[in-house]
Structure 1
Amino acid sequence: MPPAVIPPGAQSRGPRWVDKMTMGALMGGTVGSIMGFIYGTVTIFQYGAGTAGVFRTLGKYMGASGGMFAVFMGIGSVIRHDSEQRALQMWRAQYQQGRPFLHQRQDLLQVRR
């Protein structure tokens, strides 16, 4: 798929933190539900479904695991989004001040002289 064309004069913006959190929660919920399905199936085969039945027991495992993964992945995505924004702000500030981005090690400078 070709990249989106940004019209001249328009400011390009990335996804907002809400979009990142939603994406992380969806990915975490999907992965968690799959893991809950696997773990619930193995548990049902080993110990039986109990009084709730197979589908209700499997649904509980999938829901609990999917919800837990969704929360953690959503929070992690927001934290990562925040760190990317701060890194970009620090990079811009260093660029405007004319400071070098990479500093050479002092011990290497002494050996070279």
Structure 2
Amino acid sequence: MNNLNEHDETLIQELADICCASLTGQEPDFDGRTEKILKSLVMGGLARKADVTLQSELKRRVQDQCSDIALHRSSELNSITKLMQDKFDKISTWESRNPDEKTEAKAANLSSAHDS
């Protein structure tokens, strides 16, 4: 990921740190921390800027940062980074949705449906 700003770079490094901690069993609040970071990356437009996937970038960084653990626990690393990529994709999809303009207005409750 060559074209990242400093903020995105810091957030991705934070995710790599969380992955390393998770591989060693030291990350108690995995979901809570990653959700906020991933949402910040989506809001920053990472999906548009990235020339590689978040998953592959995280794997590369974790393998560089904590190579001994990553080497022996590669299946777990794949699982963790895939989970983060899936969450990133889900948040990205959710944030990019527009309300469907073709749906008609519906009555708020039964009595308002019969009043007109």
By the TM > 0.5 criterion, same fold? no
Larger radius of gyration, structure 1 or 2? 1
What TM-score comes out, normalization by structure 1 length? Answer: 0.34
